[in-house]
Amino acid sequence: MVKSILFENVLPKVFIGSPPEGGPSDVWGCNLLFEKGCSVLIESASGRGKSSFCSFVYGLRNDYVGNICLMNDAGEMLPHTSEVSCELRRRGIAMMFQELRLFPELTAVENVMLKNSITSLFDENDVRGMLCELGLEARLDVPCAILSFGQLQRVAFVRMLAQPADFYLLDEPVSHLDEENSIKMGRMLRERQCKDGAGVIVTSIGRRLAYDFDTVLRL
Amino acid sequence: MKLLFKLLKYNINIWQIIGFVIANLLGGIIVLTGLRAYRDIDSLLSVENGLISGGYISISKPISTFTLVGNMMGIQPVFTTEEIKELEQHPSVDRVAAFTAANFQIRGGFKLGDLNISTDLFMESVPDDFLDVDFDDSDIWRADVKGDFIPVVIPRKYLNIYNYGYAATKGLPQLGEGLTSSFPITMVLKGNGVSRTYSSKIVGFTDRLNTILVPDGFLKEANLFFTGEQGGAPSRLIIATDSNGDEAELLEFIDSKNYAVEGDIDNLRLQSFVHGVLYVVIGVGVLISFLAFFLLMVSILLLIEKNREKFINLHSLGFTHSEMAIPYISLVVVADILVWVVAATVVHIAYPAVFAFASVISPDFELSSPFVVWVAMLLFALLFIILHRYTIRRELRRIVTPVSRV
């Protein structure tokens, strides 16, 4: 559905006239092309727009200047409509949000199955299996309201995988996780990337997902 | 969808829903009762021999000094064919007929003990279907100029005037309807050089027509026989109003033509008044229903606002606003259908008991079909569902539309 993501002189409006401290960026104000199959790490310090980058690509926000074009397999630009956004979020781009966006009333399994209800990618046993693989076997049916942030990050990661995608977008996915979980998540993501031929874009504030990235960009 | 229902059921205030159900039930029952009562009261007011003898008005040209001068010059205040046609075409008029007056001399008399009462009389006729008298023997309302009997119908109020205004003060016996009908009356009709004597009898009493009536066919024949001419243009008309028409508008029309009105004008005013009252009752019911409708709508909008973040997050996972609306639309559809079906069922069951008084007033009265209640229920439920569904979907679309933060 999405073959490539083109950035043309994109700059968050908040940076117009007051650029962030820390020197020039490889992304803001530049022309970039993210293609399916690539794996990119975007690193930066706080306040340089990592979450803004993800929100712009995912269509959650539009407070930027320049152009972000999502191109389909035929090389055509996908329009920015509500219907296309929903379709993209089911089949085109999978995102793990920095703030996770899990529902505290639902259990770990239910949170994943809620997403799975519109993609029908897995059955419940698959979901339980993936959560167990990340060390959550004792927390499967516990409401997310009482899980730690690190546990929630793992639930959110599995939920991100509960859809087929051309691009996987992860916003600081291991900020609260240890190396062991980071390695497990990196391995699961690699398997998925290989299976879907997808692109992977990960942001990091310092702690990196254990992944062999093709490119590292400074934001 | 099960998980979506589970997620969105939080924050639903059951008391707000109950409040809606009770308020809308009340409004719905009033509206549906009013709608059915509108038809029944209408037909009750129009039922022959019922509470009111139906919508009939007698009209004539107004009498004034100019009329008197005209009379002396041989000009009678009569209705032209065009005027009659205009009345017939009025949407609130069912049918129109002319009064036929006797154009010859009539003298009537009867014996009451030693008292011989004899007087000049007048008589008129109207087509039989404008009469409000049920004859025990339908053959009795027939007469022939060459025969020797004339049946007569008189206004019931004439008998009352005699009984309470005349007999009581003169020490004469008061007469019941049955006894009056058995009095032999003698009529002498004169004209065109011919005089014929007939026996006569009062065969019925009318509440509708303020005149002495004989069969229409007989009077037309008698006019020809005793005057050698057909009657001229009518000076009085009787109008049967359409039960579905607008009585107030008809009265205004008659007023605008300066015709003099007699007869059931009070009935028409009563019908207009009752209609007005029912409009108010139905209006109050509709108002209550729509207030309840807005109560539920506001509750749902508040619920959506409380769950705003959930909807934004669901949308960010790929749920469309239509999918997210399903749980709340299901809720309002169930509430709307429940309320209107229960309201219609209550009216269906309880209405005949409430309207039992109608059969006491008018034994011939029959309740209308409850069909109107179920049709109205269906329309109101559909309207509420459509409006609720539209509002919920529009609000969710608004919430999930990305907004520039600058």
Q: Distance of alpha carbon A48 from its chain centroid, rounded? A: 17
SS3 (DSSP) at B262: strand
| pLDDT band, very low/low/confident/very high, at B50 (cuts 50, 70, 90) | very low
Helices (H) and strands (E) in chain B, counts: 14, 11
Confidence (pLDDT) at A201: 94
- In the numeric block, which tokens belong to residue A175? 């900020």
CB pairs < 8 Å spanning A and B: 65
* A 40-99 → B contacts, CB under 8 A: 58-63, 82-83, 86-90, 95, 97
Residue A106 has its nearest CB partner, among B7, B317, B397, at: B7
pLDDT at B404 over 60: no
Contact B3/A14, CB-based, under 8 Å? no
From chain B, which residues contact A within 8 Å (Cβ)?
1, 3-4, 6-7, 10, 310, 313, 315-321, 323, 397, 400-402, 404-406
Q: Which residues of A touch B6 (CB under 8 A)?
A: 105-106, 110
Q: Alpha-carbon torsion B138, B144, B147, B148, what sign?
A: positive
**Closest chain A CA to residue B309:** A101
Confidence (pLDDT) at B46: 56
Mutate which: B5, B11, B317, B405, vs A, most A CBs within 10 A:
B317
Residue B3 has its nearest CB partner, among A59, A86, A110, at: A110
**B10 or B236, greater pLDDT:** B236
pLDDT at B21 over 80: yes
CA distance B14 to chain A (A): 19
**pLDDT digit string (tens) for B183-218?**
888 999 998 888 999 999 888 888 888 889 999 999
- In the numeric block, which tokens belong to residue A144? 């997310």
Confidence (pLDDT) at B356: 76
Q: Which residues of A touch B313 (CB under 8 A)?
A: 101, 103
**pLDDT digit string (tens) for B221-280?**
998 888 888 777 888 888 888 777 776 777 788 888 888 877 556 666 677 777 788 888
CA distance B252 to chain A (A): 59
CA distance A15 to chain B (A): 11
For A4-218, the fitting CATH number among 3.40.50.11900, 3.40.50.1820, 3.40.50.300, 3.40.50.1110 is 3.40.50.300
pTM of the predicted model as reported, rounded to 2 decimal places: 0.65
pLDDT at B403 over 60: no
Q: How far apart are CA A122 and CA B161, in angstroms?
A: 96
Confidence (pLDDT) at B52: 38
**Chunked mean pLDDT (size 10), chain A, 219 residues:** 90 86 85 92 88 90 90 81 82 92 94 94 94 93 94 96 93 90 93 92 88 90
Backbone angles phi, psi at A158, to 5 degrees: -65, -40
Return the closest-CA partner of residue A84 out of A118, A103, A58.
Answer: A58
Q: Can you tell me the ipTM of this complex?
A: 0.92
Return the closest-CA partner of residue B357 out of B348, B349, B365, B345.
Answer: B365
Confidence (pLDDT) at B265: 60
Task: Compute CA distances A49 → A28, A42, A171, A173, B1, whole Å.
Answer: 9, 10, 11, 16, 35
- In the numeric block, which tokens belong to residue B44? 């009750």
| Helices B321-354 & B308-317 angle (0-180, nearest 10) | 130
Three-state SS across B344-406? HHHHHHHHHHHCCHHHHHCCCCCCCCCHHHHHHHHHHHHHHHHHHHHHHHHHHHHHHCCCCCC
Task: Compute CA distances A144 → A110, A195, B197, whole Å.
Answer: 9, 30, 110
Residue B7 has its nearest CB partner, among A86, A87, A114, at: A114
CA distance A37 to chain B (A): 23
pLDDT at B20 over 70: yes
Q: How far apart are CA B200 and CA B163, in angstroms?
A: 21
Contact B1/A86, CB-based, under 8 Å? no
- In the numeric block, which tokens belong to residue A47? 């306040």
Instruction: Kindly report the length of chain B.
Output: 406
Q: Which helix (H) or strand (E) holds B75?
A: none
**Closest chain B CA to residue A101:** B313
Confidence (pLDDT) at B325: 92
pLDDT at B369 over 80: yes
Contact B7/A13, CB-based, under 8 Å? no
Residue B200 burial (CB count, 10 A): 23
Contact A117/B315, CB-based, under 8 Å? no
Confidence (pLDDT) at A121: 92
Confidence (pLDDT) at B263: 55
- In the numeric block, which tokens belong to residue B152? 């007569």
The DSSP result for B144-183, as a single string, is: -TTSSEEEEEEEHHHHHIIIIIIIHHHTPPP--HHHHHT-
CA distance A192 to chain B (A): 19
**pLDDT digit string (tens) for B286-330?**
888 888 888 888 888 888 888 899 999 999 999 998 899 999 999
Q: How far apart are CA B336 and CA B198, in angstroms?
A: 72
Paired with B95 in beta bridges are B240
Q: How far apart are CA B379 and CA B377, in angstroms?
A: 6
Give the strand order in the sheet containing A39-43: A93-96, A167-171, A199-204, A39-43, A215-218
pLDDT > 90: percent of chain B: 19
Contact A13/B406, CB-based, under 8 Å? yes
Residue B402 has its nearest CB partner, among A62, A86, A110, at: A62
| pLDDT band, very low/low/confident/very high, at B53 (cuts 50, 70, 90) | very low
Q: Alpha-carbon torsion A129, A131, A137, A140, what sign?
A: negative
Alpha helices in B228-356 (DSSP H): 247-256, 265-306, 308-317, 321-354
Contact A89/B317, CB-based, under 8 Å? yes
CA distance B293 to chain A (A): 30
Contact A101/B316, CB-based, under 8 Å? yes
Q: Which residues of B touch A115 (CB under 8 A)?
A: 317-318
**pLDDT digit string (tens) for B79-101?**
888 888 988 888 888 889 988 88
| pLDDT band, very low/low/confident/very high, at B114 (cuts 50, 70, 90) | confident
CA distance A14 to chain B (A): 8
Q: How far apart are CA B108 and CA B226, in angstroms?
A: 16
Confidence (pLDDT) at B69: 64
Three-state SS across chain A? CCCEEEEEEEEEHHHCCCCCCCCCCCCCCCEEEEECCCEEEEECCCCCCHHHHHHHHHCCCCCEEEEEEEECCCCCECCCCHHHHHHHHHHHEEEECCCCCCCCCCEHHHHHHHHHHHHCCCCHHHHHHHHHHCCCCCCCCCEHHHCCHHHHHHHHHHHHHCCCCCEEEEECCCCCCCHHHHHHHHHHHHHHHHHHCCEEEEEECCCCCCCCCCEEEEC
Paired with B120 in beta bridges are B107
**Closest chain A CA to residue B322:** A83
Mean of all residue pLDDT scores within chain B: 83
Q: Alpha-carbon torsion B346, B352, B357, B361, what sign?
A: positive
Mutate which: A80, A83, A89, vs B, most B CBs within 10 A:
A89
Confidence (pLDDT) at B150: 92
Residue A118 has its nearest CB partner, among B6, B318, B400, at: B318
A13 touches B at CB < 8 Å: yes
